[in-house]
Chain A
Amino acid sequence: MTRHTVALILTLTALAVAPTVPMVQGSAGGTITGTVTAAGLSTNANAVVYVEQAAGPFAPPAAAQIDQRNLKFVPEVLPVLVGTTVKFLNSDSVAHNVFSPDYEKYNLGTWPQGQFKDHTFAKCAKAPCVYTQLCLIHAEMQGFVVVLQNPHFAVTDEAGHFTINDVPPGKYTVGVWHQKLRGQPKPVVVEAGKPATVDFTLGR
């Protein structure tokens, strides 16, 4: 084996390993994961699990969006960091309206397919601030924007699983919000690079 070959192999090895190294070292945070059981409901989806209070400040949030498709809000439940601007789209052939009767109350008006309107959820005195999203025209439509103090949140899937990534190490209280059910907050200790597990069972 020549010196050149050895150098080449070393270089390739270094290149292959290099991208993984900073990820492990750069992820100072841990993960909060677990399962939410919505007792008595057919699905465990759409529960919001969130860290109640975390030390900020937090970077200006990216825009989030809710579509109106087949006479439904998609996603039905959208957690956002306070200050987030939510873009409301209309993908249906019928006109839709978006309004919320909660907190400062807003009515974005009515608009046709392909257009959108924005609303910024600028403040939330006591998280979670839950804004019911309604369409004036279609009484059956209902969605929720859940405004939170920090970006450490997740929505459960059908099975009730959730994962909150990149939580700085520390002691937290983790809360859960569901449109129909209630659950008690739970304490959790997050360590760097480790998953902390917390499960919830929701009831009425």
Chain B
Amino acid sequence: MGLRSRPRRGWRDCHLLLRGRPAFAAVGALAAGAIVLVCASRAPVVWAGPSGQAPAPQPKGADFAVTPVAGPSWIKHLGLSFGATAMGRMGTNAPPPTVTYQPRWNALVGSESLARPFVLSGSDLYRLDCESCHQPDGRGSPPEVNSLIDPVRATSTALMEQRLKLLRSPVDRALVRQMTTAAMAAIRTRLREGGKKMPPFDHLEGPEVDALVAYLEELAGVPGAEARQIRITEPFTRVGEHLVKGTCRICHDATGPGTDPQALLRNQLPSLASFPRSKTVFQTIQKVREGAPVEMGPLHLPSTGRMPVFRYLTDDEVAAAYMYLIIYPPRS
């Protein structure tokens, strides 16, 4: 299993911690030593391939064509009500990211965090683009959201031959290859074009699709998939685009009014364009990752809100989405 997030800066976080609280620095070498120890325990585990080798060379990351999010939410497109669908709702059920969560409200203030490109594995792309509907294990929420496990297993010649042998059926390698190739083409077409209920993920580009598919294979238990994991370097705007298009936009329209206590009751959620106008990046991170009360109804009473809490996202990813919405303003 690959690292589920980009390597975090354990040491630098500690440096920021020290800088933010001068009192710590004054305590002297003993205190610093203690902090160093604590920080060392939080130092990132750099993923180095399945058997300890260095990761494979990564595709160049700066060439992605980032475009603004546009149009109505996906559930509105399908004519579904926010309260009556399982789509986009998996946040609350999902476990936190495998990296240690450190509340870092200086995600943007420290600005280096976004200036530095993200290193994404297929599992990160899965979290940003797929997990809110398909669940962490890929099994979705049938019958509304189908499992992706079986269709992905169908792409494996090894699994197919194993199955035919168990059935004592003749194994025709040409037939097996023909079918598994078709199954893989079907997965890629599905990603690009979507389905009756699934949105098209046409913002994904070649190396991203390869990385994502490799992770889907790992998730589905395809033999040898661990060795085929790919990592990609991407600018923060691209990461924000994944999160906004792959997760937020399932329920939120690109443009339209912001938070309206009365409209919320009628399942009219604030638009993506309204976030940077009405909330700070810190408020947005808190709302997405921990939840925050909203005013709902005619009396503007505080409510816990119905937005799922996306614990499986990182601060940096949410900050990247926020910045993406500013740099690439949503279109109607």
A residues neighboring B (CB under 8 Å): 93-95, 97, 99, 101-102, 105, 107, 109-110, 112, 132, 134, 136-139, 142
Contacts and interface: CB of A to CB of B under 8 A. Distances in A.
B180 to A, nearest CB: 8
Contact of A109 (B170, B172, B182): B182
B147 to A, nearest CB: 8
B163 A95 contact: no
Interface in B142-177: 142-143, 146, 150-151, 153-154, 159-160, 163-164, 167, 169-172, 175
Contact of A99 (B143, B170, B175, B186): B175
B153 A139 contact: yes
Contacts of A101: 164, 169-172, 175
A105 B196 CA distance: 31
Interface residue range, chain B: 20 to 34
A99 B167 CA distance: 14
A132 B167 contact: yes
B310 to A, nearest CB: 27
B146 A99 contact: no
B173 to A, nearest CB: 11
Nearest to B162: A139
B146 A136 contact: no
Nearest to B152: A137
Contacts, number: 53
B150 A137 contact: yes
B179 to A, nearest CB: 5
B175 A137 contact: no
Q: Which of A94, A101, A110 is most buried by chain B, counting CB atoms within 10 A of its CB?
A: A101
B183 interface: yes
Contacts of A139: 150, 153, 159, 163
25 contacts: A93-B142, A93-B143, A94-B142, A94-B150, A95-B151, A97-B154, A97-B179, A99-B175, A99-B179, A101-B164, A101-B169, A101-B171, A101-B175, A107-B175, A109-B182, A110-B182, A134-B169, A136-B179, A137-B150, A137-B151, A137-B153, A137-B183, A138-B150, A139-B150, A139-B153
B178 interface: yes
A93 B140 CA distance: 13
